[in-house]
Amino acid sequence: MSAATQVLDLAAVARPAVKGRDAFRLQPLRALRAMGRLIADKEDTVQVFEIMRALAGRAIPNGYRRLLSTPEGGRIAYERDEFAVRLSDPAWLAAFGPGTVGAAYCEFIAPRGLSAEGLADESRKIPDANVDALHPLAWYGRRLRDVHDVWHVLTGYGTDALGEVCVVAFSYSQTRSLGFAFIALVGVQQFGRARNGEPYGAAVREAWRNGKSAAWLPAVDYPALFAMSLEEARESLAIRPNTLYRAIPAERRDRLAVPAMA
């Protein structure tokens, strides 16, 4: 038995942070209704969290179990740092010099009016998600939520519609959460209506492949990563260039697709 298993009974961890036996049950009809609302109003970010809640399945407990299986991941889980608190601290962010991941994150969120706390507030609008629960699975779910914009920075995808669809395709490879897959597939379908010859589907598939070949990002020590240069971080994490996304003109990356969490 591993040290992590000795400290924490994984059978107990597998029980949900919400009440009821159906906490990990897939809810496809709920996801379809939320997707309809999202297509009707692409600014309705809450529907993204509705979809993720409906299709999470066992992705959270499985991911948390994987995190515990590595020495570094076990330490991170033991410390249970709330990354959104760091990301909301201007003094902490200001400590990272030019060219670092931390500086790139600031340059990414500032002009877009994004914030970790704003994303957290949107996630709290799903009443049965229990995102603030004092439970290791809830903490792990918050961790995945809080690194969303960091993954934008690491992968190089923007917050245009295609960039968001590519990030969720990348995220599906990393987390195996079906909510990400569903959003990515619908996004590709929506982009296909443009019929303008741009390789939207190929760009999303490239993102999915890049997510498969990269290091497992949920186990990354993000405070340490923020001090690294962006290029060094990408190389150390084996994050490949988003060549096909960059090949599509910026003005054609926003047509028809649904957004994700930014």
Binned average pLDDT, 10 residues per bin, the chain of 262 residues: 38 43 85 95 92 96 97 95 97 98 98 95 92 96 97 97 97 98 96 92 98 98 98 98 97 68 53
pLDDT value at position 255?
61
3-state SS string for 212-229: HHCCCHHHCCHHHHHCCE
**Angle of the 161-175 helix axis to the 178-192 helix axis, nearest 10:** 150
Query: Which residue from 80, 71, 68, 52 is spatially nearest to 13, judged by alpha carbons?
Result: 68
Structure tokens at 84: 């959104």
Residue 22: per-residue pLDDT: 64
Backbone Cα Rg of the chain: 18
- Distance, CA of 7 to CA of 15 (rounded, Å): 16
Determine the pLDDT at residue 8: 39
Work out the number of other CB atoms within 10 angstroms of the CB of residue 39.
15
The answer to whether the beta carbons of residues 31 and 179 sit under 8 Å apart is yes
Tokens found for residue 177? 């959460």
